Amino acid sequence: MFIVISVLIFIVCLLLILIVLVQNSKGGGLAANFSGSNQVMGVRKTTDFLEKATWTLAGVLLFLCVLAAGFIPREQGETNESLMQEQIDNVTDPTAVPGNFPLSAPEEEEE
């Protein structure tokens, strides 16, 4: 299910990129090249449609991302404890004296 949602997110992202590129920005944008389609639908209706499509795709993208977070595959192993708990259990006592250190000072040999 996670893979299907990921593919849908990818498709929505591509559509959103195309819609944003076609929009008529203050500098003209790519929408200026499509003057023939603007004459059929009218300039105002085209910009309304592109704006609504942008907001709709943004909403769908947000919804799919939240949905995908719920379907992230998780490991189903036998380890019930977290990794942090495992590290806490394996910590040695810092106040303990290691066994390989001598407890007395070495004796000096006299010659």
Percent of the chain with pLDDT over 90: 31
Name the amino acid, one letter, at 34: F
> Mind listing the pLDDT tens digit for each residue in 90-105?
777 777 766 666 667 7
Domain assignment present for residue 25? The answer is no
Residue 46 lies in a domain: yes
pLDDT value of position 4:
93
**Total of domains in the chain:** 1
Residue at 87 is within a domain: no
The boundaries of the domain holding residue 1 are 1-16+38-73
CA atoms within a 13 Å half-sphere pointing along the CA-CB vector of 107: 3
CA 13 to chain centre: 14
Instruction: Give residue-wise pLDDT tens across range 15-48.
Output: 999 998 888 665 555 555 555 554 545 556 777 8
Residue 49 has pLDDT above 80, yes or no: yes
Confidence of residue 109 (pLDDT cuts 50, 70, 90): confident
Query: Which sign does the torsion angle of CA 26, 30, 33, 35 carry?
Result: negative
Which tokens in the block code for residue 99? 């066994």
**Residue 7 included in any domain:** yes
Put simply, whether the predicted model's pTM sits higher than 0.85 gets the answer: no
Flag whether 69 is in a domain: yes
Residue 101 lies in a domain: no
Residue 63 lies in a domain: yes
Question: Using a CB cutoff of 8 Å and minimum separation of 24, what contacts does 41-45 make?
Answer: none
Asked whether residue 60 is assigned to any structural domain, the reply reads yes
pLDDT, position 51: 87
